Structure 1
Amino acid sequence: MSRLFGTDGVRGIANVGLTPELAFSLGVAAASVLKLQCTGRPSMLVGKDTRISGDMLEFALIAGITSAGVDAVRLGILPTPGVAYLTRHSEACAGVMISASHNPFEDNGIKFFGADGFKLLDAQEDEIERRMERTEAADRPQREQIGRVYDRHDEVVRYRDFLSSTLKADLTGLHVVVDAANGAAYELAKALFAERGARVTLLSVEPNGININVGCGSTHPETLAQTVKDLKADVGLAFDGDADRLIAVDASGEIVDGDRIMLICAHHMKKHGRLHDDTLVTTVMSNVGFVRAAQELGIRLVRTAVGDRYVMEAMREGHFSLGGEQSGHLIFLDLTTTGDGMLSALQLLDVMAQEKKPLHELAAIMKSYPQVLVNVRVKDKTAWRTNGSILQIIREIEDEIGENGRLLVRESGTESLVRVMAEGPQESLVRAQVERIVDVIRRELETA
């Protein structure tokens, strides 16, 4: 049997690959394994985003959790980092989030956090999978040992208070446009920024179960950019469906991605002695311009494979303060245990206020090389690695690029995609190089 857990929990098309039956089995197995971290009556916190399948999977998951003798605490609609924070600052043995993050609404996912608020280790996920393969009487307690269900939707206030406490500056006079992606942050976003004095304009805060991430949020910031320009606002902030990512927009409508946000925050932290070992952790997807700017600023880089779990592993191993991805998944490890879009937004606004500089001026900290990324949906996302024709065209393009840029071909960790990305000084040439590789992949592999 192939591994059930991917790079970010268990993902699949709701009611197809990710069924209520699977959610129930996961609930039983995870509760049976993770309750061992508890003393006394064990409990698990459960949150979800706004997808139509969230209720279905939540009920199935909770049925499994309670049948394993663990209480389930329903948090309602809440960002993924909110579940992590509340798990860490409670007596729960674990937390679980039902979300597929930036993926389309038909997908969903289940990810677990340990009692410490960190995502599970591979060994813990493997133990949960092994437990799913067998049924043990000990997994199904009886009588008063059966778990109960409690609703605690008010816990979101405790998470909001934490976020607000990380902001040092006053935001009075700042006009902020927020795109909540019709996702988990749709209720929380306005109160969070407005209570610190900002004037807030909201976009994509009317979720209907199927419009999460549709033409909005961090994966589609175009409408946000135009709105910021039209309203002459100071800054735009876009989150994804579970609000663990941030993409910003400056007053002129220019998009400020995760690379720039990381570098802005890292430079500010370094100046104030808060960037441990003057080191920033990032993935191989970061732009060449990012790498060169970091070197000029005296910031050392630790590079990892794509995926926030790999960034987190490097950060914890080196005790580093800041890390993240170009996609906007930033981790402020001195403050919390996972990527948090709204926390990242507050830290960015804090730098703007303390430095007394608009975002476009701060974003000039680096010059990006033109970057072209094309996703190819295929049946088998790993087959390119052994295909001679694909490997040959990759070698040819790498030789053409040489020292003037870079090429990266990889499979997605969460979707059936092969991603082809290249950077170089001339966008038209880079785009043509990427398309040559994409054409061969489409010719050689069965597309989905």
Structure 2
Amino acid sequence: MSSLKFGTSGLRGLVSDLAGWPSYAYSLAFLRYLGVAEIVCGRRALLVGRDLRSSSPEIAGLVLAAAEAGGFEPVDCGALPTPALALAALEHRAPAIMVTGSHIPDDRNGLKFYLPTGEIGKADEAGILEAFLALREDDLLEFEALAEWKRPAVSFDATTPYVERYAAFFGPHALEGLTVGIYQHSSVARDILVDVLAKLGARTITYGRSESFIPVDTEAHRPEDIALLREWAGEGRCDAFVSTDGDADRPLVADAAGHVLRGDVIGLLTARHLGLSTIVTPVTSSSAIERSGIASSVRRTKVGSPFVIAGMEEGGRAGEAGIVGFEANGGLLLGSDIELFGRWLAALPTRDSVLPILAVLAEIAATQKTLSAIVDGLEAGFTAAHRLKEVEATASGPFLARLAEDEAYRRAFFRPVDDVEDVNRVDGVRTTLASGETVHYRASGNAPELRCYVEAASEEAATRLLEWGLGAAQAALDRS
């Protein structure tokens, strides 16, 4: 049994299952799918990027070799943020593959596929799988004859246009007077953040650079990352702290005290700062999205950028303007071209970390308020989220199905905390209790994990509810 599967962010699995033939074969299948789908690639080039995890260079070499075997010019973009590669793919009307496992541990990796028109959707995943299953014995023999791919690929700088995109839009004085701490760890954007913040006038202080991969998750924060942020905040030198996950498509923002902002709060602040009026977001984002009044239209989706993109496209067809999508993990997708102070920014409908980071920091500079005061002004309520690790789909699936379909079981499960008021089954099982608190369980699309999200009236209540939610789920799984 292979661990490889398509989730919310491309093909993911153990390095031991992905390296070698699978990386080559899935890349070749993607390129053959492009031909079947009759997608025109002007330069007939494949752009390839990677993150900084230990297995990514080798896998990227296999992807480049598959490009040549598939009749495409292999173009090596090196280590760069996923949104930077996506931007280059859109601008040059070329397909792209990003080698990244995002925030998951170093023993795992993945491939994220981009069409010349943007991210692949669920129908494209099915087409790639069909092309993969249709690979011939000749393809395997050609791969086995490839002892090592030695032909140098064409190199291409896709990072500079990405940095200049934001430097030109925000301008050289947007962050003047701010001192920003950058948690660099193993983020592929660690040096880009220093560069772009400096171009916008901020002073930066770097922390925590690592040459080994650190699986920073911007949604389920590791206790050690929280402790580091609080330690650095104790120095009293920074107005805010910023970071990203491994491939820089999800932001991490913390205030001067080291308190990390929720992803939906980052999204709300970005929408307000940029004047965006249509918000598309999954059911995992809190009810503060509607309550804030920032958007005139809110569309709720399943978790995952393909679903958010589909929601943004529906909004566009309905004539809605100022479209932005974001997830509870903070990844922000810009669905409309926007103008601010006479400067234009083109849409980038893929998850990005740099735009929301800059928008939040620019809000601090523009309002001359502390970030904590700005967040308090939103009255966004309190949420918490975490996960149970090493929970395979064979265990999480039956648990979620029973919770969704068996009313008596559901009432008994939640009886220790409250009566059940409502159930949402759009993605996993989101239960609203009589008190208005919510508990949402869903299986991760990227790793063998069961995630739990809660919303409550206070931070203390949210913490207690999350602890109960994780414990109750673990007990139910242990009994099954």
- The normalised TM-score by structure 1 is 0.86
Alignment of structure 1 residues 312-327 onto 2, 5 Å: 312-319=309-316, 320-327=322-329
User: What residue is the counterpart of 1:154 in the other structure?
Assistant: 157
User: What residue is the counterpart of 2:303 in the other structure?
Assistant: 306
Are residues 136 and 40 of structure 1, via their aligned partners in 2, closer, same or farther at CA, if it must alter by over 3 Å?
Answer: farther
Are the counterparts in 2 of residues 179 and 217 from structure 1 also a CA contact under 8 Å?
no
Q: Tell me how far apart the structure 2 counterparts of residues 41 and 299 of structure 1 sit (CA, whole Å).
A: 41
Are residues 215 and 391 of structure 1, via their aligned partners in 2, closer, same or farther at CA, if it must alter by over 3 Å?
Answer: closer
1:244 and 2:252 matched: no
Shift of residue 239, structure 1, vs aligned partner? 0.9
Are the counterparts in 1 of residues 103 and 217 from structure 2 also a CA contact under 8 Å?
no
1:399 and 2:419 matched: yes
Are residues 398 and 290 of structure 1, via their aligned partners in 2, closer, same or farther at CA, if it must alter by over 3 Å?
Answer: farther
Q: Tell me how far apart the structure 2 counterparts of residues 250 and 309 of structure 1 sit (CA, whole Å).
A: 30
Q: Tell me how far apart the structure 2 counterparts of residues 40 and 323 of structure 1 sit (CA, whole Å).
A: 29
The aligned amino acid for 1:418 is L
Shift of residue 149, structure 1, vs aligned partner? 5.1
User: What residue is the counterpart of 2:425 in the other structure?
Assistant: none
Question: Alignment partner for residue 268 of structure 1, among 267, 270, 273?
Answer: 273
Which has the larger displacement, 21-30 or 175-184?
A: 175-184
RMSD value, Cα? 3.2
Ranges of 4+ aligned residues in structure 1 off by more than 6 Å: 137-140, 214-218
Alignment of structure 1 residues 352-371 onto 2, 5 Å: 352-371=364-383
The aligned amino acid for 1:12 is G
Q: Tell me how far apart the structure 2 counterparts of residues 173 and 382 of structure 1 sit (CA, whole Å).
A: 50
The aligned amino acid for 1:106 is D
Q: Tell me how far apart the structure 2 counterparts of residues 358 and 64 of structure 1 sit (CA, whole Å).
A: 50
User: What residue is the counterpart of 1:409 in the other structure?
Assistant: 441
- Aligned-partner SS, 1:29: helix
Alignment of structure 1 residues 129-278 onto 2, 5 Å: 129-135=129-135, 150-168=153-171, 170=173, 171-208=175-212, 210-213=213-216, 220-270=225-275, 275=276, 278=277
User: What residue is the counterpart of 1:9 in the other structure?
Assistant: 10
The aligned amino acid for 2:59 is L
Shift of residue 95, structure 1, vs aligned partner? 0.8
1:46 and 2:48 matched: yes
1:125 and 2:125 matched: yes
User: What residue is the counterpart of 2:428 in the other structure?
Assistant: none
The aligned amino acid for 2:214 is N
Are residues 441 and 119 of structure 1, via their aligned partners in 2, closer, same or farther at CA, if it must alter by over 3 Å?
Answer: same
**How many equivalent pairs are there?**
432
Structure 2: state its 5+ residue gaps: 143-148, 317-321, 338-346, 421-432
Shift of residue 81, structure 1, vs aligned partner? 0.3
Percent of aligned pairs with the same residue? 25
Q: Tell me how far apart the structure 1 counterparts of residues 120 and 218 of structure 2 sit (CA, whole Å).
A: 32
Which has the larger displacement, 431-440 or 65-74?
A: 431-440
The aligned amino acid for 1:72 is P
Are the counterparts in 1 of residues 273 and 363 from structure 2 also a CA contact under 8 Å?
yes
Question: Alignment partner for residue 400 of structure 2, among 381, 385, 396?
Answer: 385
Shift of residue 438, structure 1, vs aligned partner? 3.7
Are the counterparts in 1 of residues 264 and 285 from structure 2 also a CA contact under 8 Å?
yes
Q: Tell me how far apart the structure 1 counterparts of residues 383 and 312 of structure 2 sit (CA, whole Å).
A: 26
Q: Tell me how far apart the structure 2 counterparts of residues 137 and 69 of structure 1 sit (CA, whole Å).
A: 18
Shift of residue 446, structure 1, vs aligned partner? 5.8
Q: Tell me how far apart the structure 1 counterparts of residues 283 and 78 of structure 2 sit (CA, whole Å).
A: 35
The aligned amino acid for 1:360 is S
Shift of residue 159, structure 1, vs aligned partner? 1.9
Question: Alignment partner for residue 349 of structure 2, among 319, 325, 337?
Answer: 337
Q: Tell me how far apart the structure 1 counterparts of residues 220 and 461 of structure 2 sit (CA, whole Å).
A: 30
Q: Tell me how far apart the structure 1 counterparts of residues 328 and 227 of structure 2 sit (CA, whole Å).
A: 17
1:68 and 2:65 matched: no
1:31 and 2:28 matched: no
- The normalised TM-score by structure 2 is 0.80
Structure 1: state its 5+ residue gaps: none
Shift of residue 63, structure 1, vs aligned partner? 1.8
Q: Tell me how far apart the structure 1 counterparts of residues 371 and 159 of structure 2 sit (CA, whole Å).
A: 29
Q: Tell me how far apart the structure 1 counterparts of residues 243 and 81 of structure 2 sit (CA, whole Å).
A: 14
Q: Tell me how far apart the structure 2 counterparts of residues 84 and 313 of structure 1 sit (CA, whole Å).
A: 17
The aligned amino acid for 2:354 is M
Which has the larger displacement, 282-291 or 217-226?
A: 217-226
Residues 106-162 of structure 1: CA deviation (Å, up to 9, x unaligned) = 11110111112x21122222111111112359989x9xxx99752425332122212
